[in-house]
Amino acid sequence: MRRIAVCLIIAALATPLNATDGAAQQPAPAVVPHAWLYGSWTGGLFPVPSGLTAQLCLAQPVVIFTRDLVLRATLIDQVYHQRNIETVRAAPGSTDFRFAPGAEARQSLGLFGTAPQEPALGFGCADPNSLHVVRRSDNEIVFEGCADFPEPLIRCPVR
């Protein structure tokens, strides 16, 4: 009887330890420092018109943030320019992006049917492979020090 009691006590003490070991081995969910930016943004090039509807905004956003990419529109191109995010660093009130350097393939074909390679388009900042985003509010941001985006950007409304 004594052996059974000792075995039950050991089993009872060992169970919580095993449960915490198992929980410690599971990977924690990835923290995405720029998740608050996900979605479509307009403005930046010109002041945002008052009374902008969700339909008009989502029809042609200027910048789109995703987990791995930032897409931007320009005044002269019909296609969005895609930048692959290399690193993101968040600070209180701002987020810094570092983009993977490289060339971006164009849609049009060049000489002998090959796509001409151009340097990746930046945001008009001092370094084309970086972007400093300052958060003014939950729905308003600015690209500090970027000549291509002199105006604030606002998040496209959902409805």
Q: Of 50, 59, 60, 41, which is closest to residue 136 (Cα–Cα)?
A: 41
pLDDT in tens, 89-106: 999 999 999 999 865 544
Q: Taking residues 9-25, what's their average pLDDT?
A: 48
pLDDT tier, 75 (very low <50, low <70, confident <90, very high otherwise) = confident
| Residue type, position 118, single letter | E
pTM for the model stands at 0.71
Range of the domain at 76: 35-155
Tally Cβ neighbours within 10 Å of residue 123.
Answer: 25
What CATH number did the domain enclosing 141 receive?
Answer: 2.40.128
Is residue 20 assigned to a domain? no
Number of separate domains in the chain: 1
Q: How far is the C-alpha of 110 from the C-alpha of 128, rounded, in Å?
A: 24
